Amino acid sequence: MAGKKVMMQGTASSVGKSLLAAALCRVLYQDGHRVVPFKSQNMALNSFITDEGLEMGRAQVMQAEAANVKPHVLMNPILLKPSADTAAQVIIKGKVQGNMTAASYHKFKPQLKEMLGEVFQELSKDYDMVVMEGAGSPAEINLMENDVVNMGMAEIADAPVILIGDIDRGGVFAALYGTIQLLGEHRKRVKGIIINKFRGDKQILEPGLKMLEDLTGVPVLGVVPYGDFNIEDEDSVTERFNRKVKGEAKIHIDIIHLPHISNFTDFHILETFPEVEIRYVKARDHIENPDMIIIPGSKNTIADLKYIRESGLEKEILQANKKGILIFGICGGYQILGKKIMDPQGVESSLEEIRGLGLLDVETVFEGEKVTTQVEAVIQREDLPFLKSGKDFSIKGYEIHMGRTTLGELAKPLMTITNKLGEEVSYGDGAVNGNLQVMGTYLHGVFDQLNFTSSLINYFMEKKGLDPLGENQMTLEEYKNKEYDKLAKIFRENVDMEKIYRILGGQE
């Protein structure tokens, strides 16, 4: 296939492929190139809905932002959303194809190769360069035959490969050498090595780099130091769930860390406020005395509701509600806050009905058809405790859910949807309870609206007698661009971009 492209592969999951691919996208964009990210297959519970109402992985959305291009489903044509240890919902070109076991999907993969070639060709024709990303390790010798995401995809696209190793986890030389040795005939595609997450004196490392080059015949393109970047992660294998408490934080928000937590990127903006401390609460933890509790989205709402109940967190959430602590649910979390969830078609579970937490007078029924849409909404409720300005609050977000929720007499809509996929509409979303201390919504991204989130934080600040936030708060887009530029700077300073340009041009 024509065009300039390069694929970032790793010796294992979580070695930094997504971030380094984003860094390269940003550097190429800064250098004036039209660049686009691509990952043939993503396995993640974090997803995004495009302008066309199609579902794709968040990692390529993040990389598209770094490249300053609009996310498109062709950037991630296959998305796997795990629903159990050995099964996943399979989404192809943004549409749900159904649930498959690991074994059945492995047999199905060869049928996808022609589609991936067509998608890659269509995507790449409008750009100067494509930055591709692999998944896990390319040296899974039991999966090589039907591979469509690592060397299998590199072969389809005829792309050179840069191999990434994570030195922070230890054994990086063995991981890099062993990976290359196991690649067989695909070894010739590896044109460079990057060592990621380095801490220490590079001079001590350099003899090892030379020995690695001699052993593999592959040049080391750079050593990227360990960096603290507040950029959205791809999946739940993330350091953000274990972040240390910020000393300057004045507002404390507990987020229930569900086993099947999805779209925790909803809370990224909250982490950009130095005044706010986010804590992910697991079964072994306790809800202490936060200003707000959030129940996030879930890929398996019924299983996660049972987890909340059996772990004792349900009792703590109900006690917090009695103390007047604000409780907010998003998507699956909204469903969990209701009176009951019904699944007559077995969409999620063999359990046809389960009692919810009962904090909202709503009931949810799971149906076979998945809602995937971008929407605009307005909050006109002047009775909400944190919306005292008298102004309407405009909200943009997206919905990804199987359930349909109906409100009882004791619940009122949180907001009104005014636009759905570009068409004007008018219907309610979400719910609030009678004392305005429990609320939920189907909208992912609700906190991304700075005016809404600033009003919420200021409400908590006022309750504590603290000064409100300043007027010149950075928008989420501005914050992200600052982080992408910081990431690109680190990459540019520590990686041989001249060699990468030669690799992109097929000269190495």
Token pair belonging to 237:
């294998």
| 25 among known catalytic residues | no
| 252 among known catalytic residues | no
Q: Say if CB 71 and CB 61 are below 8 A apart.
A: yes
Catalytic hit among 72, 268, 401, 444: 444
Token pair belonging to 472:
């010149």
Beta strands 297-298 and 261-262: pairing type?
A: antiparallel
Any alpha helices (H) in 254-357, and if so which ranges?
A: 301-311, 313-322, 332-336
Q: Say if CB 39 and CB 157 are below 8 A apart.
A: no
Q: Say if CB 6 and CB 503 are below 8 A apart.
A: yes
Beta strands 292-295 and 251-256: pairing type?
A: parallel
Q: Say if CB 277 and CB 245 are below 8 A apart.
A: yes
Catalytic hit among 257, 268, 331, 401: 331
Give which of 100, 103, 59 is closest to 82, Cα–Cα: 100
Token pair belonging to 251:
């507002």
Q: Say if CB 39 and CB 76 are below 8 A apart.
A: yes
Q: How far apart are CA 374 and CA 368, in angstroms?
A: 20
Burial of 10 (C-beta count, 10 Å sphere; 0-12/13-18/19+): buried
- Sign of the Cα torsion 440, 443, 445, 450 reads negative
Q: How far apart are CA 48 and CA 448, in angstroms?
A: 14
Give which of 241, 361, 354, 243 is closest to 296, Cα–Cα: 241
Output DSSP code: residue 226: P
Which residues are part of the catalytic machinery? 331, 444
